[in-house]
Amino acid sequence: MTQSNETTRADRKLAARSLLDMFKAQPLSERVFEGGMMALQAVGGATMAYLIARALHPEQAFWAAITAIAVSQHSYADTQNLSRDQFIGAMVGGVCGLAGAMLGGGYLIAYVTAVAVAIVVCWCVNVGSAARLGGITATIMLLVPGIGAPWDIALTRLGEVTLGTVSALFVSLVISRIETLWLARR
């Protein structure tokens, strides 16, 4: 790792810590408001994702809702970044989970290998922040019972993750625009 990468990472940690300290210093009424906005964003994205997924593939539509909640962040930019990581992790984890399901062999060995490979691949393509999400997706692929061929399950999971992230991004963008307009009027 280069010095500039370490400095950038340290700067991001410091900025995140400062933001957290700022939120903790807010009066209770402001924290309730911020928490309410975050809840509105997460619930809005999850509901949108769930309803669309339910219409398209009702068996396990909850994965789209879970993804929307998982990627919802306080700001649109943070939601974008986590959505990107979620999508990359889901792609890598889905491919590794599919490979593990297709290769078979010892089930536990296929599972452990798929998760480990997903994590390493995410780090190798320089998206270490997606590594745990890749491992989670491979775990879902191999440990959560699914009906159908492994490639169908992998594509369905990727579709659910995509739907969840797009729903969260849409709701986050709308709320961000509303907040911007509201603050401009204050």
DSSP letter string, 38-71: HHHHHHHHHHHHHHHHHHH-GGGTHHHHHHHHHH
Whether the pTM exceeds 0.85: the reply is: no
pLDDT digits (tens, 9 = 90+) for 74-132: 889 999 999 999 999 999 999 999 999 888 766 889 899 999 999 999 999 988 889 99
For residues 131 and 118, the answer to whether their CB atoms sit within 8 Å is yes
Structure letter (DSSP) for residue 30: H
DSSP letter string, 79-112: HHHHHHHHHHHHHHHHHHHHHHHHH-SSHHHHHH
pLDDT digits (tens, 9 = 90+) for 23-42: 677 788 888 888 898 999 99
pLDDT digits (tens, 9 = 90+) for 127-176: 888 999 999 999 988 888 777 888 888 888 888 989 999 999 999 999 99
Distance between CA atoms of 85 and 102, rounded to whole angstroms? 25
